[in-house]
Structure 1
Amino acid sequence: MFPLFLIPVFIAAVAVCLYACIAEEIYRILALCICLLCTAIGLILAPWQIQGTVLVLALWLTRQFSLPKHNNYRV
């Protein structure tokens, strides 16, 4: 059985390539919207293992970027 979640992922990849190649702003925004929509649909259709992996990565990356590395302030 062909995994259906790969179809929107491939469409999103094509939209990213078009976004990088197109010079006009309206078409770039349209390609970006298509990319975001297809990524969301692909994530919804993905198996729970992939959804869980994306959730863990998102939580880990936001924690890595939101916390300061060290504290220079002394009391």
Structure 2
Amino acid sequence: AYERLLLDVLLGDASLFPRNEEVEQSWRVIDPIEQFWAEGGEPELYRAGEWGPKGAEEMLARDGRTWRRP
């Protein structure tokens, strides 16, 4: 729980905390998603058991890619 994190802070043990590079990379991934949602974009829905929304297939097809299915 938080007691462990607080103790690690007091002892100077940063092993359970993300490094700056990891935080920066996370924001590079998340920022465009947040911007899309802020501009009115919504996630595409699909039924349980399906491979995903049609838009995912279209996005991959733009680069000549496809899903690798088992």
Which TM-score applies when normalising by structure 1? 0.29
Q: Which has the higher contact order (CA 8 A, sep 6+)?
A: 1
More helix by share: 1
Rg (Cα) greater in structure: 2
